[in-house]
Structure 1
Amino acid sequence: MRIIGITGGVGAGKSTVLAFLEKEYGAAVIQADQVGHLVMEPGEECYEDVIGIFGKEIIKEDKTIDRKRVSDVVFEQPHLLKRLESVIHPAVKRYICRRIRELQESGCRLCVVEAALLLEEHYQDFCDQVWYIHTDPQIRIRRLEESRGYTREKAEGIIASQATEEYFRAHTDYVIENNNDLDRTYAQIRERIEKHAVL
């Protein structure tokens, strides 16, 4: 099984690339963000630890953790973010490694792992190659305004807090330009998969 790591900044359109790989090449897709939500579910690895950090007021009536409330608390008390990350990030990585083993055993040929912090968390250690999805900042800002309702200031702040384009380019194997021409984006993916014998 081949494993491709996908990373890039917020609003880069990583989900567009994932959907194409899944549809066109039957890739099994693992998204770190979704796994992060899963490990906080009742009975899962991080549930009790997260409540221990933030208190019982983050528990909703259905016993699930109110992620919006956690997000608000972290925004007001940034020191709690480090504690949250120290619990969530290792659990997410463990889950993804288990899932990869299951996929290998099932005979899957292509697995795609997407994570915004893929490089920082050293996911590249178990990927055959890592792709950086690059999109011009102004397009990313517009996407965040339209899809998430962010103000321009909030979008710019989030982008500024993430790794730089230079960092991504220096630490990845392949760059996919994903601005406004989807056909061009898809052509770059096909070229990498088919011409470089990924499968």
Structure 2
Amino acid sequence: MIVLGLTGSIGMGKSTTARMFAEAGVPVHDSDDAVHRLYAGKAAPLVEAAFPGTLKDGAIDRAELSKHVLGKPEALKQLESIVHPLVRADADAFLARHRLAGAPLAVLDIPLLFETGGRNRVDKVVVVTAEPEIQRQRVLARPGMTEAKFAAILAKQVPDAEKRRRADYLIDTGLGMDSARAAVAAIVTDLVGG
């Protein structure tokens, strides 16, 4: 089974592209979805112990948690040390299930693939990208997003130009949905045939 890593900076269209792979019949593991599940499960008591007051109604309140870690590198490292191993175990179980089922290709949607050393976990990498103006519009349209939050997020991500340089495949989501869907189909065909 070929493992394809899907990544891209914030606002580049990674989640939409992941859905396109799923629509093309490729199993997709979404790290953000895994975090949401873990925040309501295994990770909840661990995160609450590290960041008291973040557990509400049996799940971690992401808005409350961001108050504890945004702009605080040590706190963020602590959170990542709790969450990243759990997400990785979730992804490993996903890959094992699909390997057993005989899937020829699976996608790991990893927002911080290059930042977290995830390159060695995948066979090929596809990077979603778009022009900086498009990225900025998309991100600032999100509820609760501010210029300061956007700048803080970008500061901890590998620059888009570097991600593009390190990619095996590129999908420019700024060219529209049909173009992105065609790029996804071309990648699937290239990796596993048509």
TM > 0.5 between the two?
A: yes
Cα gap change, 1:147 to 1:51, in 2 (>3 Å): closer
Of the three residues 55, 58, 64, the one matched with 2:54 is 58
Question: Following the alignment from structure 2 to structure 1, what is the Cα–Cα distance between the partners of residues 192 and 117?
Answer: 21
Q: Which residue of 2 aligns with 1:32?
A: 31
Question: Following the alignment from structure 2 to structure 1, what is the Cα–Cα distance between the partners of residues 28 and 22?
Answer: 7
Does 1:14 find its partner at 2:10? no
Does 1:146 find its partner at 2:141? yes
Off by >6 Å, runs of 4+ in structure 1: none
Contact persistence 1:141–1:156 (CA under 8 A): no
Gaps of 5+ in 2: none
Question: Following the alignment from structure 1 to structure 2, what is the Cα–Cα distance between the partners of residues 98 and 105?
Answer: 11
Of the three residues 187, 192, 198, the one matched with 2:192 is 198
Q: For the aligned residues, what is the CA RMSD? A: 2.0
Question: Following the alignment from structure 1 to structure 2, what is the Cα–Cα distance between the partners of residues 76 and 165?
Answer: 21
Contact persistence 1:4–1:128 (CA under 8 A): yes
TM-score of the pair, normalised by structure 1: 0.86
Q: Which residue of 2 aligns with 1:79?
A: 74
1:193 deviation in Å?
2.1
How do 1:42-57 and structure 2 match up within 5 A?
42=41, 44=42, 46-55=43-52, 57=53
Q: Deviations over 1:55-107 (max 9, x none)?
A: 2x2221x2222221111121264421111111111221121111110111122
Cα gap change, 1:79 to 1:121, in 2 (>3 Å): closer
* Identical counterparts, % of pairs: 28
Question: Following the alignment from structure 1 to structure 2, what is the Cα–Cα distance between the partners of residues 21 and 28?
Answer: 8
Of residues 2-11 and 150-159 in structure 1, the stretch that sits farther from structure 2 once superposed is: 150-159
Q: For residue 112 of structure 2, what is the amino acid of its counterpart? A: L
Cα gap change, 1:154 to 1:59, in 2 (>3 Å): closer
Q: Larger C-alpha radius of gyration, 1 or 2?
A: 1
Of the three residues 129, 138, 148, the one matched with 1:134 is 129
Cα gap change, 1:65 to 1:183, in 2 (>3 Å): closer
Contact persistence 1:26–1:110 (CA under 8 A): no
Gaps of 5+ in 1: none
